[in-house]
Structure 1
Amino acid sequence: MHSLLLVSAALSAVGLTSANPVDLERRTVTTLSATELSSFAPFTQFARAAYCGTDILQDWTCGEACEANSDFEVSLVGGDDDDIQNYFVGYSPSLEAIIVAHEGTDPTQLESDLTDIDVPLAPLSSTLFPGISSDVEVHTGFQDEHALTADAILAEVKSLMSSVGTSNIVAVGHSLGGALAEIDTIFFRLNIPSATISAMTYGTPRVGNPAWAALVDASDVNFKRIDNMQDLIPIVPGRALGYEHPAGEIHILSPGDAVSCPGDDDATDSECQIESVPTIFEGNIIDHVCMIILF
C-alpha cells in the first residue's frame, strides 16, 4: 500500500479540494460506546491473523490474533505472500458466522506492491459479478487480485453454509485486504443471495468510483470501514482519479474513542477522515501500520 502513495501524492490534494461539496448540509457524527467498540475486537484480530503464514494459519497458531478467537475452525487457507494475498476461510461458533479474511499489502513483495499501483478504474467481470452495469468501476489491481481467489473462496463458503447451518458471512481485512473484503460484499451478495453479509475493513483505500459506492450503499450488506486517527491510506487513490468510498466510516480519534461518520466520502465534520487528513502530507503511515495491533 506504500507504493500507492507514490502514485497518488500529486493528485490527492487536488482531488480532495475539487470534489469537496460546498453546499453540503452539515451532518453530525455519532460517538460510539465502549460496548460498540469492543464488538469490533474479534474481527480486528481476524484481520491481523491474515498476515500470518499459511502453515501457521492452517494450525491456527498465530499467537495473540488466533488466541483471541480460539474457537475458530479453519477450513481453507491459501495464498503465497506475493502473487496471491494470503487468505483464510472458516467458521466461528461464538460469532455464529463464516469468516473470510484477506491479507493486506506486504511492501517487501513486488507483486503485492504492483497490485496497489494498478490504479486505473475498470468495469467488473461479468462472470464474477453478473448483471452489474459497466458504469460501476473498481480499481484494476484490486479486482484482478480478488479474481485470483474468488471461485475457491465462494465454493468454500457455500460448503460451510451447508455443513454448519449458518447463512452469516463476515469479510474482513486491513489495507489491501480491506479492499478485497469490500469487493467480497457485492460478490457474495450476487452469488449467495440468501446470505446475511457483513464486512469489517481497516485502513482501506478507496476501491471504486461513485457508482461502486452507490452499489455498496444500496445493498443490504452491513458494511463498516474503520479508519485510525491520521492514517493516510483511506484518502488514496485521490478523488481526482474518480474514486469514492461507500458509507460506513468509523473513525478512531484516539484509543477507546471513535465516531461514526455520515455519508460516503463527503463527511464535513472535523472528526471524520476526509477532514482530519485532507492530504497525504498531513497523514501518518504509523497509524495505518499499527492499527490492527493497537486497536
Structure 2
Amino acid sequence: MFTLTTILLLSPLPLSVVALPHPDANATRALVPRAVATMSAPQLNAYTPYTQFARAAYCDSSTLKDWSCGKACEANPDFQVNTAGGNGNSIQNYFVGYWPSKNTVVVAHEGTDPTAFESVLTDVKLLQRSLDSTLFPGAPSSVTVHDGFANEHALTATAILAAVKNLLSSHSSAGVVVIGHSLGGALAELDALYLTLNLPSGTKISGVTYGTPRVGNAAWSTYFDSQVTNFTRVNNRDDFIPILPGRSLGYEHVAQEVHILGTDSAIVCPGAEDTTDAQCTTSAVPNIFEGNILDHLGPYQGVWIGTIFCT
C-alpha cells in the first residue's frame, strides 16, 4: 500500500507463439520474442499457492515462525519454516522455508504497510544507486536500482542467503522461489538476482511477484533477464503501482508480466516491458488517474493481499 504523498512522488508522466509462464520453481523459461497470449483459468489458478505465500508474508513474524498465521498459512499446510523475521516497520517481515510438494525453498517478503511510517519512507527514496558489489558480485557498473529498495534488501540479504544455503544442503535437488507483493515484490526481485549470483551455478531460481513497482534502470532489467530466466510479475486489473516509479525517471521493468483482466481471465506479456500492447499494464494503465489503488490488494483469483488479509 502507498500513501497519497508516495503516489504523487512516484507518479510517472502519462505515456502515450509464446510459452505460457510455468510457476514451478524447477522449470526454466527462455526469453522469447514479445507476443501477448491468453492464459486459461487452470494456468492462472496454478499461481494461487504463491499468492497465498505473498499474503502470509503480511502476518506477524511470530505467527510465521510456527506457520500459525491462519488461512494464509493453512493454504500451504506442508510448508516447513526455517527462519522468519522482520518487524513490519524498519524491516519488512520475511520468511524462508521448504515446500515439499514443490520441492523448493521459498523466500517471501512483506509489502508496504501504510501504518508503518518507516516502510513508507523506503518507497519514496527515488534516487537510484549502483548495486553493492559485495552483495551482487560481478554486476555491471551501469546497473542501478531504487535506493530505498536496495537499502531495505541489504537488511535481510545475508540472513536469507544463510537460510537458503542451509535448506539446499538438506534438500539437494530443491529449487528456490522468491515471492512478494508491492514493496515485498521489489525485495523478491532483488533477491532473485542476489541468490543467483551467490548460490552455486545450476541452482534453479525463479520468482513470482504481485503488484511490483519498477526496481531499476534499463541496464538492471537487461542484466536481470540475462541471469534470472524464470520470473513472473503478476499485476491485477487497473493497479497503478506497477507503473511506478515512472519510466521518465529512468526505470524499466524486468520480464515478464501476467496481467489479470478479471476472474479467470489474464494475458501473459513476455519479454521486455511491453509499452505497445493495450492489454499489458504499461499501456492499459498509462497514469495513476486511470488506475485503481484497490486493485493493488486484489483479488488475485479470489485472494486478497495486505495486512488486513493475512489471516
TM-score (norm 1): 0.93
State the distance in 1 between where 2:76 and 2:238 align.
28
Is 1:95 aligned with 2:97?
no
**CA–CA separation in structure 1 for the residues paired with 2:228 and 2:124:** 30
Moved more, 30-39 or 95-104: 30-39
Q: Which digits, 9 at most, give the CA deviation of each residue in 1:59-96, with x for residues without a partner?
A: 21112211110000001000011110000000000011
Letter in 2 for 1:8: L
Q: Give the corresponding residue for 2:26.
A: none
Q: CA deviation at 1:217?
A: 1.4
CA contact (8 A) 1:167 1:194 kept: no
Q: 1:165 to 1:115 in 2, by over 3 A?
A: same
2:278 corresponds to 1:270: yes
Structure 2 residue 311 is matched with structure 1 residue 290 = no
Correspondence for 2:223: 215
After superposition, residues 183-194 of structure 1 pair within 5 angstroms as: 183-192=190-199, 193-194=201-202
1:106 paired residue number: 113
Corresponding residue of 1:13: 13
Partners of 2:301 and 2:60 in 1: how far apart?
A: 17
Alignment-mate amino acid for residue 100 of structure 2: P
CA displacement at 1:269 relative to structure 2: 1.5
Contact 1:49 1:65 in 2 (8 A): yes
- Are residues 1:81 and 2:81 paired? no
CA distance in 2, matches of 1:33, 1:293: 12
**What is aligned with 1:2?**
2
Shift of 1:267: 3.7
8 Å CA contact 1:76, 1:89 repeated in 2: yes
1:162 shift after superposition? 0.6
Cα distance in 1 for residues equivalent to 2:270 and 2:208: 17
CA-CA distance at 1:37 after TM superposition: 1.0
Q: Deviation above 6 Å: which 4+ runs of structure 1?
A: none
Aligned partners of 2:264 and 2:301 also within 8 Å: no
Deviates more, 1:59-68 or 1:132-141: 59-68
Match of 1:241 in 2: 249
State the SS of the aligned residue for 2:133: coil
Residues 81 and 266 of structure 1: CA distance in aligned 2, closer, same or farther (over 3 Å): same
Partner of 2:19: none
Aligned to 1:152: 159
CA contact (8 A) 2:236 2:300 kept: no
Aligned amino acid, residue 168 of structure 2: M
Counterpart secondary structure, 2:102: coil
Q: Which residue of 2 aligns with 1:201?
A: 209
Q: Does structure 2 retain, via aligned residues, the 8 Å contact 1:196–1:221? A: no
Match of 2:46 among 24, 29, 39: 39
Contact 2:234 2:259 in 1 (8 A): yes
Q: How far does residue 200 in structure 1 lie from its aligned partner after superposition?
A: 0.1
1:147-183 CA distance string (max 9 Å, x none): 0000000000000001122340000000000000011
Look up the SS of the partner of 2:177 in the other structure: strand
Does the CA contact (< 8 Å) of 1:28 and 1:269 recur in 2?
Answer: no
| CA distance 1:286–1:173, shift in 2 (3 Å) | same
Aligned mate of 1:171, from 173, 178, 199 = 178
Secondary structure of the 2:135 match is coil
Correspondence 1:112-127 to 2 at 5 A = 112-127=119-134
Query: Deviations 1:268-290 (Å, cap 9, x if unpaired)?
Result: 12111011100011100000023
Asked whether the equivalents of residues 45 and 292 of structure 1 are also in contact (C-alpha less than 8 Å), the reply is no
Partner SS for 1:266: coil
CA distance in 1, matches of 2:161, 2:147: 21
- Partners of 1:225 and 1:280 in 2: how far apart? 19
Query: Which of the pair is proportionally richer in helix?
Result: 1
**Helix, strand or coil: the match of 1:207?**
coil
> Percent of counterpart pairs with the same letter?
54
Measure the CA separation in 1 of the matches of 2:174 and 2:132. 25
Q: Counterparts of 1:24-63 in structure 2 under 5 Å?
A: 28-63=35-70
- Cα displacement string for residues 203-241 of structure 1 (whole angstroms, at most 9, x for unaligned residues): 000000000000121124300000000000000000111
Measured after TM superposition, the shift of residue 105 of structure 1 is 0.2
**Matched residue count:** 284
